[in-house]
Amino acid sequence: MRFEIVTIFPGFFAGIFENGILRRALAEGLVEVGVHDLREFTHDRHRTVDDRPFGGGEGMVLKPEPLAEALGSLGIAPKAERSKKEWLAEDDAAAGTRVILLSAQGRPFTQAMARELAALERVVLICGRYEGVDERVNQLYCDMELSIGDYVLSGGELAAAVVVDAATRLLPGALGNEASSEFESFGAADAEIATDVEGVPRSQHGAGGLLDYPHFTRPAEFGGLRAPEVLMNGDHREIRRWRREQQLRKTLANRPDLLAAAALSKEDRKLLEAIQREAD
């Protein structure tokens, strides 16, 4: 798959994809990232990309013309002029290109959305700056506005890097262990993945729409705290059971909103009730 990032700060991305999983995915050709300098699509002496907002008020707004030209250079026409056939690969509605405007006003970016993006051939990410992007760019060209959280960043570049990272690690072959992304925090809520017939989780990792469990490594004793004995006794069924309980505890404590959509077995529900009783 390929990401196209449109930004006024192309230098922001120097080095950002040169570590770990992303570096490897790029080196192996699993993913490509094109970074496009918005100023290249201006025609005045000052390479102007922004202007004052109509109606007055604080700050500046990214002008529509350079953005439209940058998108045009990537073969992206306004939505109304796109033929569905050209846009989506003929036999796969999930493939094709999506144009995304990064915005604090966007839909929340989730692991489920990262999975959707990882199935596409090309994702174009428009990074806003100042007060944002002229809304007509959104209306004419963008398939989606995306927010990485309920806070305001100075620009869309950090958000673009987050989207590239989260989607790339889901590409087949990007992680050493093919299955491991299924079993992390927010793994697909799928009871089949989560547990065996007796309700003991099949995997060593978190799954089923819950948060991951806590991890420990050597030394066994650190800062006066001992790593949980159950993790060191080699009983893998017990370990899986303990880890599932920890996932439930952590999700209940930090993200109780996830429990409603999580794939919970009968065992999970019993455990959850016991944990909730403890707290009462």
The reply on whether position 103 binds ligand SAM by CB under 6 A is yes
Give bridge partners of residue 221 from the DSSP assignment.
226
The reply on whether position 204 binds ligand SAM by CB under 6 A is no
CA gap 181, 212 in Å, rounded: 11
CA gap 111, 169 in Å, rounded: 11
Instruction: Kindly state the smallest distance separating residue 79's Cβ from ligand SAM, in Å.
Output: 19
Q: Which one, 75 or 149, has the nearer CB to ligand SAM?
A: 149
The reply on whether position 71 binds ligand SAM by CB under 6 A is no
The reply on whether position 249 binds ligand SAM by CB under 6 A is no
Stretch that binds ligand SAM, among 46-54, 102-110, 171-179, 204-212 (CB under 6 A): 102-110
| Near ligand SAM by CB under 6 A: residue from 36, 98, 122, 129 | 129
Q: Which one, 60 or 258, has the nearer CB to ligand SAM?
A: 60
Which helix (H) or strand (E) element contains residue 270? helix 266-279
Nearest to residue 144, comparing CAs of 104, 99, 89? 99
CA gap 211, 248 in Å, rounded: 8
The reply on whether position 156 binds ligand SAM by CB under 6 A is yes
The token duo for 238 is 């017990």
Give bridge partners of residue 33 from the DSSP assignment.
3
Give bridge partners of residue 147 from the DSSP assignment.
108
Which helix (H) or strand (E) element contains residue 20? helix 20-27
| Near ligand SAM by CB under 6 A: residue from 38, 127, 166, 174 | 127
The reply on whether position 125 binds ligand SAM by CB under 6 A is no
Radius of gyration of the chain, Cα coordinates, nearest whole angstrom: 23
Q: Which one, 129 or 243, has the nearer CB to ligand SAM?
A: 129
| Near ligand SAM by CB under 6 A: residue from 116, 121, 131, 143 | 131
Q: H helices within 28-83, ranges in order?
A: 64-73
Site for ligand SAM, residues 136 to 155, rule: CB under 6 A: 147-149, 151-155
Q: List residues binding ligand SAM (CB under 6 A).
A: 102-105, 127-129, 131-133, 147-149, 151-156, 159
